[in-house]
Amino acid sequence: MGDYGEHRKKLAKELKARIVAAGGNGVRVKGGQGTAWGWIDVWGAESSNFTPAQRKAVEEVCRSPAGANCWVGTIEDIERILGVPSYF
């Protein structure tokens, strides 16, 4: 089945690619740490608020509203968004 950490990294990389392709240049996509390890976060550039283009791209790709400066989803959310099979 492979390494779950690698699966998470691939999901984050693909999510970022789709957001950038939708016009969300400059977003940062990363896996949560510690107790948030099962989450993937999308942030505006330099942890500042999303630009209007970034917000539009994030909400379009993730199919849900974004906060002022971030969007957060579980790995299972990202699998559904990207249309990839569940790791488990």
pLDDT tens per residue, range 41-86: 999 876 689 999 999 999 999 999 998 889 999 999 999 999 999 9
What are the b/e assignments for 30-56, b being 16+ CB within 10 Å?
ebeeeeeeebbbbbbeeeeebbeebbe
Provide the pLDDT for residue 64. 93
Q: What's the pTM?
A: 0.90
Mean pLDDT on 27-48: 84
| Residue 25 reports pLDDT greater than 60 | yes
Number of folded domains in the chain? 1
Instruction: Give the span between the Cα atoms of 14 and 20, in whole angstroms.
Output: 10
In a domain, 77, yes or no: yes
Range of the domain at 48: 4-82
In a domain, 87, yes or no: no
In a domain, 88, yes or no: no
In a domain, 18, yes or no: yes
Using only C-alpha atoms, what is the Rg of the chain? 12
